[in-house]
Structure 1
Amino acid sequence: MGPYVISLPISTSSEHLEALAEVSNFGRTDMGYPGQGPWTYCILPEESLDDKITGMSGAKSHPFGVDTVSLQPCLSYASRSQDRYITEEWDLPNGKWIFNVVLDGHLNHYTVDCIVQQLPKVVKDALYDSARESLSMRPEYISEMLRSAIRQVDDCLTSRVLNLLPENMSGEDCVNNKDSTSELPDADLLLIAESLGGATLVLSLTDSRGNLWIANLGDCRAVLGHRYAQGWSGTQVTSVHDLNNPEELMRITQDHPGEINAIKDNRVIGFLEPTRALGDTWLKIPASYTLRMYKNARQPWISPKQFDEYASRILTPPYVSNIPDVYHLTPQTPYFLLLGSDGLLSTERYNGMNATQITGHWVNILGSVIDSGAETNINAALCLLRDILGGEDIDMVSRNLTVEMEERWMDDITLLIQTVRNA
């Protein structure tokens, strides 16, 4: 019996053209990793780019002058965004307030989701109580209230997990019995998870009297742009709290003298990049408690052996601070405020530019959009996101949106822009 032969029809010339057209809409890239890949991506037509970005980022324009976007283009479940944002207008007895916060979570989703539930309520309740009791609303009082609110949320994460330890348990007892998680109910395991991860944040609060407060903890950023007669000018208001910041390097060195592992590989105890954050409780409590509460929490990002090694470096906690920087400003001209997670610098778009140049570039883009958008209702955050992804370079934007990689190729990007036209 002869071989079984399958006959296929010959393609027509039109089918050849359709196939070529389909292939021409795709490219291949190493995404800046020489020797890896290549990975396929779809080259999107210019006319559909903005709609694509709008849909993927959940772009919104809120009725009180705030535009928002939040993007993580990788579609795998494990790579879903850990960024969160909140923007709310509060009508309180002492006037209208606008509260904004961008949160950049790390290690898990539990911590950042817990903070989203707690932080706005803590701030709002403090403002309401102050108004009801006719307490001072001086700017320095509000600054201290914000500082206390942020620390209160973090202290709550810590106290809830420490309360799971048996009463009167000493550090030595913890060392002798290192696993207290094996028989805990699910509700208690959730408390452990909420304190194990972490989140950095940048926050703003404005009142109806022209005051602006900004608070930051970690590596999120705030940029303030002012409209003058000759055009727009702006600066980055916040400092980045990591070990590339000389002041943070000095602070940790002074807080932990003689500890060679307090800073390792440009990270806190060789593990964490930001030096200030909410959560990350295991870096804020004695090593004996850390080992007892967290070692066997079965996290995909660390093995029990690795956890032992990091815990051995915890000698004089805390190593991560929960004290935010708080700024009070009274802008005298129309302005915009950009709050962003650290992912806004995670693409190749700004390679070769220094921090001052990047800030100036953002101010020019947003100033132009705001000047032209008073009548057209353009989403300023969406315009800046387009620039971060590649601007007019359609190929770069397409790569960043559609490359077919199983793991994330860029950090989460969240942008919140508040525009005040009548300062």
Structure 2
Amino acid sequence: MADSNRLEAARQRLLQAFQSTKSSPPDVHAVTFQPLGWDSNADRMVTERWTIRGQQWLFLAVCDGHGGSCTSQYTIETLPHRLRSALKRVVCKRFGGRIDRSNLDVAGVYVASMFEVEIVEFDRTLKRAVRELCPNPRELSKEQAEQLLLDHEEIFLRAFQGTTLVLALINVDLHFMWAAGVGDSSVALSTTNTAGSRSVELLCKHHTFTDPQEYYRTIMAHHSSEQNVVDHDNRLLGLLRMSRAIGDLPFKMERAYTRHLFQYFPDYNPQSLARLAEKVML
């Protein structure tokens, strides 16, 4: 009986530690584990098969959430539909209903641009939702802020928390693909040559401050009076290791939102958020 109880307890701990998904045929199975038992798994994944004008597409995406799972969950639930609709518009309006080897060079530019536009716009929707609910955070009392967060918890949490994103879009029929990434997660292509040797190619660069281009892009976006935007440990304001992410609006919006609204989230340290607000020069 004791062994049975331990086995069931182990099963329950395992269920809390991983996320899994499976696409429709062709089958693609995906699983992610959170190895740290003291923290919940904020990773989210999606594997979908799309049919657009008779062509079969496979869409794969992984979001590595931080600060919680609201942003990663919302991204996985919402962004794939936006990207599918945008891909359909590109295929139907620009390329007569079909992307193939004859128009791939031109189509590749359109699809890559579509990814960038849609992902950036998706992130902006998180900011707009916050502004619509709270256009003037400085006017809030503590009680009003707490009530606003309680009434619209999901909307504010998915803006406050953050996530990386990596995705791959594969044309199943003709065997070509696109990849995109935001943050420091990786998407890679593993291939085997005729001799049986395997090689791996990283398809998207990491958005971190160890990349000189990302470092200088971030520094040059700020006024010279703003000191220590990136610290000696390559962290944004001493906190965030990645230079780009979805969400994380305390780093992107005026400090008034953190000082008068976000700091009243019940599950976050108000002193830490107050220190963050002091570092934001807005």
Please give the TM-score of this superposition, normalised by the length of structure 1.
0.55
User: Who is 1:113 aligned against?
Assistant: 73
Deviations 1:336-384 (A, max 9, x none): xxxxxxxxxxxxxxxxxxxxxxxxxxxxxxxxxxxxxxxxxxxxxxxxx
C-alpha spacing 1:59/1:198, structure 2 compared with 1 (3 Å) = closer
Conserved? CA contact 1:90–1:98, under 8 Å:
yes
Greater helix fraction, Structure 1 or Structure 2: 2
123, 132, 156: which one aligns with 1:154:
123
Query: Hey, what's the Cα distance between the residues in 2 that align with 1:253 and 1:60?
Result: 39
Inter-CA distance 123–72: structure 2 relative to 1 (3 Å threshold): same
* Structure 2 gap ranges (5+): 1-13, 100-106
Cα distance in 2 for partners of 1:286, 1:65 equals 45
**1:12-45 CA distance string (max 9 Å, x none):** xxxxxxxxxxxxxxxxxxxxxxxxxxxxxxxxxx
> 2:42 maps to which residue?
82
3-state SS in 2 of match to 1:250 = helix
Seen in structure 2, the aligned counterparts of structure 1 residues 243 and 57 have a Cα distance that, compared at 3 Å, is same
* Aligned counterpart, 2:10: none
The structural deviation recorded for 1:118 is 0.6
Identify which of 193, 215, 230 aligns with 1:263.
230
Distance in structure 1 (CA, Å) of the matches to 2:138 and 2:163? 28
Q: SS where residue 238 of structure 1 aligns?
A: coil
Structure with greater Cα Rg: 1
How many positions carry a matched residue from both structures?
A: 257
1:74 to partner: Cα distance: 4.5
CA drift of 1:139 comes to 1.1
State the distance in 2 between where 1:157 and 1:54 align: 30
Tell me the distance in 1 between the aligned counterparts of 2:95 and 2:241: 39
2:133 to 158, 161, 164: 164
Provide the rounded CA distance (Å) in 1 between the counterparts of 2:149 and 2:215: 40
Alpha-carbon deviations, 1:358-416, whole Å to 9, x = none? xxxxxxxxxxxxxxxxxxxxxxxxxxxxxxxxxxxxxxxxxxxxxxxxxxxxxxxxxxx
Distance 1:176 1:55 in 2: 41
Alignment of 1:17-416 (within 5 A): 62=23, 63-76=25-38, 79-93=39-53, 95-133=55-93, 135=95, 138-166=107-135, 169=136, 174-175=137-138, 177=140, 179=142, 180-184=144-148, 186-207=150-171, 208-231=173-196, 232-258=198-224, 259-264=226-231, 265-300=233-268, 302-303=269-270, 305-315=271-281
Distance 1:249 1:124 in 2: 32
* Alignment-mate amino acid for residue 98 of structure 1: L
Identity %: 25
- Structure showing greater relative contact order (alpha-carbon pairs closer than 8 Å, 6 or more residues apart): 1
- Structure 1 alignment gaps of length 5 or more: 1-52, 317-423
Q: Which one-letter code corresponds to 2:148 in the other structure?
A: L
1:235 shift after superposition: 2.1
Change (3 A) 1:156 1:54: closer
TM-score in terms of structure 2 length: 0.80
